[in-house]
Chains A and B, each alone.
Chain A
Amino acid sequence: DQQVKQNSPSLSVQEGRISILNCDYTNSMFDYFLWYKKYPAEGPTFLISISSIKDKNEDGRFTVFLNKSAKHLSLHIVPSQPGDSAVYFCAAFNAGGTSYGKLTFGQGTILTVHP
């Protein structure tokens, strides 16, 4: 049972344009969400997070939007740069649960930004 889903395995964007990566979840107990960036043969790097009390969090070129009713979140990267090319994972957990910090990851989306 895939509780966190990234339905787009890949996304190709032109440099300077907006990249929108999507993520859906099914577990209504999740109340904290994170986006990670990962290069091949490396561990994930934290990008940005959002708690369920917010619907938007912004950090530089990265903005995460959360739609709780739709159980959907998205990561916007504006403007996209070639260095953003990587695999992006969304992850979720229940901050109030006994297994605090146990992350459930989506399958990842490969983002390619073309010069």
Chain B
Amino acid sequence: GAVVSQHPSRVICKSGTSVKIECRSLDFQATTMFWYRQFPKQSLMLMATSNEGSKATYEQGVEKDKFLINHASLTLSTLTVTSAHPEDSSFYICSARRLLGDTQYFGPGTRLTVL
């Protein structure tokens, strides 16, 4: 099966610091990776779509300067939350897709807590 990992699984940071979350496709090459966030008892909300080697496409309302996405290779995408604030505390989940038409395989998620 297609496996997607995320690191770290949990991070606590102080307000104003930056946090990097990694998303890796372990046994396949992902042409596209997606980043979602989930607030408690709410649905997963797509933040951005990234294709390897090109700039990410952000959803309306998502600040691209705050949530920096890099998809440098076919197996790795990173999300950096810059100058994190308590309202950025959330569960961040990535997904990866091999090819157009393939299903998305989700990572286990990263719980970010900003103090």
Contacts and interface: CB of A to CB of B under 8 A. Distances in A.
Interface of A: 2, 4, 9, 34, 36, 41-46, 49, 89, 95, 99-108
B12 to A, nearest CB: 15
Nearest to A100: B100
**Which range contains the number of B residues in contact with the other chain?**
20 to 34
Interface in B85-115: 91, 93-95, 97, 100-101, 103-109, 111
A42 to B, nearest CB: 5
Interface of B: 4, 6, 9, 32, 34, 36, 41-46, 49, 57, 91, 93-95, 97, 100-101, 103-109, 111
Closest 6 CB pairs of A and B: A43-B106, A105-B43, A105-B44, A107-B43, A44-B106, A43-B108
Contacts of B100: 100-101
- Give the secondary structure class of B's interface: strand
